[in-house]
Amino acid sequence: MISVIIPSYNSGKYVIKAVTSALNQNVEKEIIVIDDCSTDSSIEFLVKYFEKDFIPRNEKVSQTVYDGTAEVILYWQGKINDNTLSVYKNLTNQGVATTRNIGVKLAKGDYIALLDADDWWEEDKLERQLSALEKNNAVLCNTARDITNHDGTPTGLIIHTPKVISLKKLEHTNYINCSSVLIKREALLRFPMEHSDAHEDYLTWLRVLREYGDVIGIDEPLMKYRLSIGGKSRNKLVAAKMTYKTYCYAGYGKIKSAIMMIAYTYNGFKKYKK
C-alpha cells in the first residue's frame, strides 16, 4: 500500500485539488493530511467538502521525530471510494519538514508518496511509479513536472528529469521535487527531513542516494507544480544560501560545498532559462 502524505499550512485555496488528485490514483492507498496550525480554516474547509464521508475524531497522538516529540490530533477520518482519508492537526507549528516526518511515522504503507497541498497529480502517476520501482528494484522514483502559475494556469515550462539519477548527477542539481516522489517508507524512516534553514528535501535525497545508489525518473510531467507567491525558493539569493547549507549538512565541507555551488547555479540557470 502507498501512504500519501500531504502537509498543509494555510492552503485553503488548493488543498481540495491536491487531495482529489490523490484520491483519483488507481492504487491501494491511504491519504494523510496534516495541518500545521493553519490560520485560514483550510482544514475545516477540507472536512466540510468531504463531510458526509467523515467521522469526527478527537484522539491525541504523540510521535517521536528526529528533533523531539510532536503531538498531533486525529481530527477527522473517513472512507472515500475504499480509501482511508485521515486529517490530523499539529498542536504546535512544526514546519513542513517535521510535519512530513510525522506523516511518515503515522503511515502504514510500504511506500510514501509526498504531495504538497498546493500541487496536484495526473491520474496514473502513482500506478506508473509503483510499476517502475518494482521493475527496477529501486528505492525512489520521481517524475518531470509541469510548472504552473500560482492560479494554476500553465507557464509552458516543463522541468525534465533523467531516467536514472546518480549521486554525482544529484550533487550538481536537485532533479527531485518533493511532490513528484514515490519512495520506500524504510528510506524516509532512516533519513528523515531536517534542517529547515536548508533545502531539507534535497538533503534527504543526497543521503538516500549515498546509501541506496541510483534512483529512477519518469521523464513525463505527471505532477503539476504551483509557483507560490513568496515561496522560499523564489528568492534566488536565499535559495543559494540554503543550497550551500544543504551541502554542508550533507558532509561535503565548506570548500567542496562552495565548488559544488558553481555547478548547481549553472544547472539551475539552464533549468529555468525559459
pLDDT of residue 52: 74
Question: Within a 10 A sphere around the Cβ of 145, how many other Cβ atoms?
Answer: 21
Instruction: Spell out the per-residue pLDDT of the chain, length 274, in tens.
Output: 999 999 999 998 899 999 999 999 999 999 999 999 999 988 888 888 887 777 777 777 777 776 677 889 998 888 888 899 999 999 999 999 999 999 999 999 999 999 999 999 999 999 999 999 999 999 999 999 999 999 999 999 999 999 999 999 999 999 999 999 999 999 999 999 999 889 999 999 999 999 999 999 999 999 999 997 655 555 678 888 899 999 999 999 988 988 888 877 777 666 655 5
Query: What are the boundaries of each domain within the chain?
Result: 1-118
Cβ atoms 257, 172 nearer than 8 A: no
pLDDT of residue 56: 72
pLDDT of residue 43: 85
pLDDT of residue 226: 95
Choose among 136, 150, 274: nearest CA to 212. Answer: 136
Which residues, other chains included, contact 240 with Cβ-Cβ below 8 Å and sequence gap of 6+?
261, 265
Query: Which amino acid would we find at residue 170?
Result: L
Q: Using CA atoms, how far apart are residues 235 and 238, in angstroms rounded to an integer? A: 5
pLDDT of residue 67: 64
CATH class of 1-118: alpha beta
